[in-house]
Amino acid sequence: MQALVSFIAGLVLGVGLLVSGMANPAKVLGFLDLFGRWDPSLALVMGGAVSVASLGFLAARRRTRSLLGADMKLPAAGRIDRRLVLGSLVFGVGWGIAGFCPGPGLVALGLGEPKALVFVLAMGLGMAGFELLEWRRRCGAGTSAA
């Protein structure tokens, strides 16, 4: 059942990204071009997504188990730190350069968009690099210099 619900949720997300234009890098870059030919239509998409997600998080906070019986795993951190700011900056720069973020990049890859292949490969390398740095940080934290 979990796999079926996950598949349906992914399908709904993918269709939503296609219908909204989020999988089209030209549309995204038009939204990010504040001082040129700005396309504000994605602001409505994002506003709707944030509204729906806020309601979902509000409801989830009141529960200990999901509707399918899994433990609720909500983010615990509530402070803004250096890692969050740097990660947000890297995400924003990548979004501005490529016109993709992870979800729309995967949808565009599924559509055969060549730029999406480059983006997804770069995203995978970035994720692997992060995991390597995290592994080195964890392993280095357990040792002390003599």
Record the tokens describing residue 125, joined without a space.
Answer: 């390398």
Q: Which residue has the tokens 């019986």?
A: 69
Q: Does residue 146 form part of some domain?
A: no
Q: Does residue 29 form part of some domain?
A: yes
**pLDDT digits over 55-88, tens only?**
988 998 899 898 888 888 887 878 899 988 999 9
Predicted TM-score of the model (pTM): 0.76
**pLDDT digits over 107-143, tens only?**
999 999 999 999 999 999 999 999 999 999 899 865 5
For 87, the domain range is: 2-141
d(CA 12, CA 6): 10
**DSSP-derived 3-state class of residue 67:** coil
Please state the domain count of the chain: 1
d(CA 117, CA 106): 9
More confident residue, 73 or 12: 12
Q: Is the pLDDT confidence value at 1 over 90?
A: no
Q: Does residue 73 form part of some domain?
A: yes
Q: Does residue 124 form part of some domain?
A: yes
49, 53, 54, 57: CA torsion to nearest 10? -170
Confirm if 95 and 32 have CB atoms less than 8 A apart. yes
pLDDT, residue 127, reads: 93
More confident residue, 119 or 146: 119
d(CA 39, CA 43): 9
